Amino acid sequence: MDAPELVALLRGRRTAVLTGAGMSTDSGIPDYRGPDSPPSNPMTIRQFTSDAAFRQRYWARNHLGWRHMDQTMPNAGHRALAALQRAGIVSGVITQNVDLLHTKAGSTGVIDLHGSYARVVCLDCGYTMTRVALADLLEQANPGFAARAATLGGIAVAPDADAMVSDTASFRIVDCPHCSGMLKPDIVYFGESVPKARVDQAYSLVDAADALLVAGSSLTVYSGFRFVRHAAAKGMPIAIVNLGPTRGDDLADVKIDNGCSPMLALLADELPALASSA
């Protein structure tokens, strides 16, 4: 596989990277908008906070789905970006994913734009706890639920750790152990805004780089697309690697319609060697 225009664009440039759900498909986590993605209706913050039945169903499904995500391992693309960061070529990673696979692969200082499946926050008092701790509480409140669901066969899991199971009517949710308020995964849902401090941190990463590489994102959601617009306004070189069209294609200097793993592995092979021979 060869992509000389991609290698040429990023050669000699400290590159900030923005990743999306397409980055993790090779790890077994489906994306929302890829050409082969199943129909999906990601949860909105309004649904979660205003509908008790919806919230019950969500926590029942998440009680199963988060385990799958926790056990998921990085793929060749994640490992390639970590290697490029160690080589000083990638300056940092902004990810729209909540799966922590970049961190598992060894990338440092990752900006988890939309939060993480591994932490839970109380919407009333701000108390936080790990998803592992909540799992113990949910299992105590619903003994045997996870084991019974596992006997039904394979469980499909969405990018936000929502497992597609239907037997949720008897599931008991758990409130905040600190104030009895409403608990929510520390994930930015559709209809929510990314915390300003996190956005500013991501802008700073882009500003300090020489180029921007987008990997595995359709850029449909503005929370990610804004950084492409920002880079374009600065005249910064932009490369996009994604299966299918993206909202930022017209702003890109190079667009590669391919999967992330093979193309990022190519960069990890090519760029450090070029840098050392320069």
In angstroms, the CA 117 to CA 101 distance is: 11
| Mean pLDDT for the stretch of residues 185-214 | 96
Reply yes or no on whether 78 is catalytic. Answer: no
pLDDT band at 277 (very low <50, low <70, confident <90, very high): very low
pLDDT band at 274 (very low <50, low <70, confident <90, very high): low
pLDDT at position 1: 53
Residue 157 above 60 pLDDT?
no
| Mean pLDDT for the stretch of residues 237-252 | 97
Question: Based on the domain organization, do 166 and 238 belong to the same domain?
Answer: no
Number of structural domains found in the chain: 2
Please check if 33 is assigned to a binding site. Answer: yes
* CATH at 242: 3.40.50.1220
In angstroms, the CA 52 to CA 43 distance is: 14
Domain boundary among 187, 219, 241: 187
* CATH at 127: 3.30.1600
Question: Based on the domain organization, do 124 and 208 belong to the same domain?
Answer: no
Question: Based on the domain organization, do 248 and 137 belong to the same domain?
Answer: no
In angstroms, the CA 63 to CA 66 distance is: 6
Question: Based on the domain organization, do 254 and 180 belong to the same domain?
Answer: no
With H, G, I as helix, E, B as strand and everything else as coil, classify residue 17: strand
Structural domain range at position 8: 1-29+75-114+194-278
Question: Based on the domain organization, do 165 and 138 belong to the same domain?
Answer: yes
In angstroms, the CA 246 to CA 160 distance is: 21
Question: Based on the domain organization, do 173 and 214 belong to the same domain?
Answer: no
Q: Label the pairing between strands 15-19 and 254-256.
A: unpaired
pLDDT tens figures, 94-119: 999 999 999 999 999 999 999 999 99
Domain boundary among 147, 164, 187: 187
Residue 186 above 90 pLDDT?
yes
Cα Rg of the chain (Å, integer):
20
Closest Cα to residue 227, out of 267, 254, 255, 198?
198
Q: Within the chain, how many helices (H) and strands (E) appear? A: 10, 9
DSSP code of residue 163: B
Q: Residue 30: in which H helix or E strand, if any? A: none
Question: How many CB atoms neighbour CB 225 within 10 A?
Answer: 19
Q: Which residues pair with 121 in a beta bridge?
A: 128, 184
Question: Based on the domain organization, do 210 and 84 belong to the same domain?
Answer: yes
pLDDT tens figures, 208-242: 999 999 999 999 999 999 999 999 999 999 999 99
Question: Based on the domain organization, do 44 and 170 belong to the same domain?
Answer: yes
Domain boundary among 142, 162, 187: 187
Stretch among 17-26, 48-57, 236-245 having the lowest mean pLDDT: 48-57
- The per-residue DSSP string of 261-277 comes to HHHHHHHHHHHHHHHHH
| Contact present, 18 and 94 (Cβ < 8 Å) | yes
Question: Based on the domain organization, do 130 and 171 belong to the same domain?
Answer: yes
pLDDT tens figures, 34-49: 444 444 567 789 999 9
Please check if 34 is assigned to a binding site. Answer: yes
Residue 156 above 50 pLDDT?
no
In angstroms, the CA 88 to CA 85 distance is: 5
Please check if 243 is assigned to a binding site. Answer: yes
Question: Based on the domain organization, do 96 and 127 belong to the same domain?
Answer: no
Question: Based on the domain organization, do 232 and 169 belong to the same domain?
Answer: no
What's the Cα-to-Cα distance from 228 to each of 73, 97, 112, 132, rounded to whole Å?
28, 17, 17, 35
Percent of the chain surpassing pLDDT 90: 74
Question: Based on the domain organization, do 198 and 228 belong to the same domain?
Answer: yes
Please check if 35 is assigned to a binding site. Answer: yes
Percent of the chain surpassing pLDDT 70: 87
- The per-residue DSSP string of 97-129 comes to -SS-HHHHHT--S-EETTEEEEEEEETTT--EE
Catalytic residue among 63, 78, 102, 114: 114
Please check if 20 is assigned to a binding site. Answer: yes
pLDDT tens figures, 127-136: 999 999 999 9
> 0.85 exceeded by the pTM?
yes
